[in-house]
Chains A and B, each alone.
Chain A
Amino acid sequence: MGVTLKRILVIDDAATVRLYHRGILEAAGFAVSEAINGLEALERVAEAPFDLYVVDINMPKLDGYGFLRELRSKDIPQAPAIMVSTEAAANDQKLAYVSGANLYLIKPVRPERLLAHVLTLLGLSVAPRDPHQGRHQ
């Protein structure tokens, strides 16, 4: 089997936020691509789907909700999406879920927190392969 890195697409119109997320994710060994809005993100997805998406909400041209609806309408392998917002509004969270997000985190996401969720969603966090589980299987 070919050796590839898990690919993550970071979608945010703020370069600072992209750099922040990229820094965290690349340090953890992921291949990170960036898109500055929903439209550009869709172009990237058209080239090849990703293993995970980190999506901002408020972006020009096509916002995060719009991007997710488009993404989830595509006939491609669907990967988890983390929506990152600055507002802790319950309404926004519901809209995010309806649009197709799998997680709703509030900015700024601490590096440890982001990584913990990314690793979990990708099935990469350390598995508790302790004796109990072993016997269970």
Chain B
Amino acid sequence: MNPLLLQFLTEGREFLQGIGEKLLQLEDNPADSACMDDLFRLVHTLKGNSGLFEVPEMTRVLHAAEDLMDATRAGRVAFSRALADQLLEAMDFVAVLLDDLSAATGEQLPSTSHHAAEAVRLGELLRGLMAQAGEVVSEQLPVASAAPSAPTAVADNVTDNWQLTPDTFIHVPEAQRMDCYRRLSAGATLCWLVYQPDEDCFFKGEDPFFQVIQLPDILWQRVTSREQWAALAELDAYRCLLRFELIVSASPAALAEHFRYVPDQIEIVPLTAAALLMPSGRVHTEPLAAEFTRTAQALLAAGNLTALTQAARTLLELSAPDLWLASALRWLLLVVEHTPQEIDLQRQVLAQIGELGAQNPPKPPFSKGGFAAVNAEVLEAAQTVLAAQRDILSLTDSAPWLTGRLQAAAASLAGTCASLGCDAELTALNHALTAAISAKTPAPLLAWLDNSPLPVEKGTSSSPSFGKEGQGGILSTAGGLLSQPPDLKSPQPPFSKGGLDAVSNPPSPSFPKGGLDAPLSKAGLSEEPAFNRRAEDHQVSPRTLKVDQVKIDRLMNLIGEMVVAKNALPYLAGRAEEVFGVRELSREIKSQYSVINRIAEEMQDAIMQVRLLPVSFIFQRFPRLVRDLAHKLGKEVRLVMEGDTTEADKNIIEALSDPLIHIVRNSLDHGLETPAVRQAAGKPSEGRLTIQARQESDRVVITISDDGRGIDPVVIRHKAYEKGIVDEVELERLTDQEAINLVFAAGFSTAETITDLSGRGVGMDVVRDAIAKVNGTIELRSTVGKGTQLRLSLPLSMAVTNVMMIESAGQRFGVPMDAVAETVRVPRRAVRTIKRRLTTVLRDRLVPLVALNELLALEVPQRTNGDDEFAVLVVRIDGDYLGIIVDECRETVDIILKPLAGFLGSLNGYAGSALLGDGSVLLVLNPRELL
């Protein structure tokens, strides 16, 4: 994926996380102005970032959110729960968009336009909150910002008319667009107007058609339906679904006035000539095009527009009129005729035609991010810079840092001078600077600027040394140096759908890597060719490194494989000695093995550290979850989280996530009571849910406790009997604790009615199984009326499993060591049969015995040793001890346990398999399931 997009997505998610947290904090303490500022900044920055990509839906919603936060921060809108709800919903929407974007494959950004309606809805809701508070809602449309108050045009107009893409005008016929172009170049003000009347407008006495017809000077119009028309029988003729698109010769202000009663239903965008320039037609590879482009570019560079026109006409006559090329040529002629000063535009059209000769179909020139584009903007940039310095030097304040400001302005002017080749002016500039600094006034610099031949504040073409001819000269020189064909191997810039217009080009965050390197190092930095970066240039917050999980997993697997591979060395040493009789080599292999073994263990340890994640990784979603659930259920809940910095292996943490959510849901749904019930029971109306994490030796313990109604053993007994989980005899025998534990039985659900929150057919048995899968245990304690506590205990890491190897019926098996209590030898005579079950007495305790061969359905009797003793492996399952009779107990070994996959995956009796050093496979038993 494009690295910029990747960064945006990662950072975007962090921002959303932060925004969510701040909102919840603010709910607790709405007066926290620092928190409010942070929140605003997060939204603001996220909006700014989103502008780098073409995701208008996201920008729209974030823009509204930012405005709302700004109003809230300034105290114009009060912070409320409704506001927080709305913002959270908006952020959820942004998260959805981020997910969509992260599905991007290749360089093309996936379209998010199917979210457009939702974006509009959310945007309006957010703005609605401002409107309610009496805030003047300024929709992002440039009706206001396009007014004369716009700053001295340094702004990239992009923000104002981001919705103007070349596609916007796809339905406007070329002749109409050309007509508009002529009018615009003649100085007319044209606007693009979209009017989408309210669905209920007919009931409000509005007449959209009349409104439109009343407009003066409509140059082009189109009426479409916002939705597919329904079948005639179902058509609701009174529901207005029209969308008017018009090009009108009127100012934005006049249009805003015309539609003053429905400002929310219109979009007005002032048109620029460049935006209309879009050749269209049948694309056909045209070998002549390349040739023509070369000639034409030369003519354009030489400023010979007459010859250029002639050449274009000739080619036009040779081309079929419906061809794209013909259309492009017509545009070229139009641009040359009506706006001869727009060299940029002419070059653009030419570049496009040039591409037609090279490839098919043509790509818009700017999507290349070629240096020609930079070149085209240099003169404009110089003028902008000079105008800005003039503004700066005209400031009349006397800031303490005036000297620095003067120096910086002088430096900027010097740079611009050098850029434009007016090096001769530099001496005078230096004198002026010295004078200015000693007099503490910008006047001398201003005077220098006015007297210099630099094209400042004098329009685009009236400067003596930068007349038309001069401009051509600059561009031709520049073009000669720089508009070499961009490196075609360079990556295509990712996301620009392609703007044609230089000025209101939609943002094209192309990464001009590579493509720019060559020309620039030649031209711009000719005297500085080497690229010896300094160390400090790259020292940017090196404290943490973000790494893709997949990479860590890969490293983990590789290390696992190495651990197994190194185990082959002792076998090799044995073979060297026994088979080949070279004891010397055997010893060397063994000593090398110990070195490799140590390194491997350290590596394993190191990677384990990397994989540790704080439980906050899953805890962080609980505040929001609890808040939303509580609201939905009409309960008041205070969530207390402790120890969220406790760390555990990533797999453990991930395995915990769903069970924990389920437990929390259960707690809120069934455990905690509504405020009324609580008060009646003499409890505070606000329920309390505590989630605690801590480390106990090599395990992570998580407790979830609430002070709700608790679990009633009587009810549980009743239910269990009803569902046939226990019979009458067992019912009598069960202790209260045992009864409570029945909630973990498969098919048990205590909910009287299935709510939409928890009762989804997922019971506590699924939770227990999920926890057991990662070698965790779960305990439930509950007191009626007081509350419920769940205690989860999980291993810190599950990467390496220590197993004991056992032998039975001539096969080797593994048993996880954490299940093994001890291994003992039991004489045959000490084995008794009680109630048809094998048992033995171990240290005055009755331990049931089972033969492994019997469990595995192997038709072989267990072997005994010479003294007629059985080897018994005592395992502990849920606090009970059980002896497994095996043929032989062997050594313990560290293995990487791989779960069984495919058809074998359903064999619950096995925890998985592992590869041993000699290359054989060891099946690891799962005692809990086996019994």
Contacts and interface: CB of A to CB of B under 8 A. Distances in A.
B107 interface: no
A33 B532 CA distance: 14
- Chain B CB within 10 Å, residue with most, of A4, A59, A88, A100: A88
B418 interface: yes
Interface of B: 3-4, 7-8, 10-12, 38, 41, 44-45, 47-49, 51-52, 145, 149-152, 154-156, 158-160, 366, 369, 373-378, 380-382, 384-385, 388-389, 391-392, 395, 397, 399-401, 403-405, 407-409, 411-412, 414-424, 465, 470, 473-474, 476-478, 481-482, 505, 507-517, 520-521, 523-525, 527-534, 536-541
Given A7-B537, A73-B401, A126 B385 contact: no
The secondary structure that dominates the B interface is helix
Contacts, number: 292
Interface in A110-137: 110-113, 115-117, 119-133, 136-137
A40 B419 CA distance: 31
Given A20-B4, A123-B415, 6 more contacts: A73-B400, A106-B156, A116-B381, A121-B416, A126-B482, A129-B477
Contacts of B395: 94, 97-98
A31 interface: yes
Given A20-B52, A28-B520, A80-B408, A120 B473 contact: no
Interface string A16-33: 111110011011110111
Contacts of A14: 11, 45, 48-49
Task: Classify chain A's interface size.
Answer: 35 or more
Given A31-B533, A81-B408, A97-B395, A5 B525 contact: yes
A3 B409 CA distance: 26
A113 B375 CA distance: 10
B404 A6 contact: no
B509 A100 contact: no
Contacts of A106: 154-156, 158-159
A90 B305 CA distance: 39
Contacts of B419: 119-120, 122-127
A123 B536 contact: no
A86 B159 contact: yes
B885 to A, nearest CB: 61
A90 B150 CA distance: 7
B211 to A, nearest CB: 30
B509 A111 contact: yes
A108 B509 CA distance: 8
A47 B534 CA distance: 12
A93 B151 contact: yes
Nearest to B369: A111
A132 B463 CA distance: 14
Contact of B524 (A105, A126, A133): A126
A31 to B, nearest CB: 5
A119 B524 contact: yes
B531 A32 contact: no
Interface in A43-93: 44, 47-48, 58-60, 69, 71-74, 77-81, 86, 88-90, 93
Contacts of B532: 3-5
B720 to A, nearest CB: 55
12 contacts: A16-B4, A17-B49, A36-B541, A88-B160, A106-B156, A108-B48, A111-B374, A113-B381, A120-B381, A121-B385, A121-B412, A130-B476
A100 B156 contact: no
- Chain A CB within 10 Å, residue with most, of B38, B416, B532: B416
Interface of A: 3-7, 13-20, 23-24, 26-29, 31-36, 40, 44, 47-48, 58-60, 69, 71-74, 77-81, 86, 88-90, 93-94, 97-98, 100, 102-113, 115-117, 119-133, 136-137
- Chain B CB within 10 Å, residue with most, of A23, A104, A128: A128
10 residue pairs, one from A and one from B, having the closest CB atoms: A123-B418, A72-B404, A127-B421, A78-B407, A128-B474, A72-B401, A116-B381, A116-B377, A130-B473, A123-B415
B48 A17 contact: yes
Contacts of B416: 120-121, 123
Contacts of B380: 116
Given A116-B374, A116-B377, A110 B505 contact: yes
A76 B389 CA distance: 20
- Chain B CB within 10 Å, residue with most, of A74, A105, A126, A130: A126
A94 B388 CA distance: 10
A78 B402 CA distance: 12
A55 B159 CA distance: 19
B533 A110 contact: no
B151 A90 contact: yes
Given A28-B524, A72-B408, A97-B388, A127 B418 contact: yes
Contact of A126 (B45, B155, B156, B378): B378
Given A69-B399, A88-B145, A120-B382, A103 B154 contact: yes
B408 A124 contact: no
B515 A126 contact: no
B385 A102 contact: yes
Contact of A58 (B45, B409, B477): B45
Given A20-B509, A105-B156, A120-B382, A27 B514 contact: yes
B525 A69 contact: no
A113 B155 CA distance: 11
B87 to A, nearest CB: 18
Nearest to B38: A60
A101 B482 CA distance: 29
A136 B424 contact: yes
Contact of B414 (A48, A86, A123): A123
- Chain B CB within 10 Å, residue with most, of A29, A34, A93, A94: A29
Contact of B378 (A28, A40, A102, A116): A116
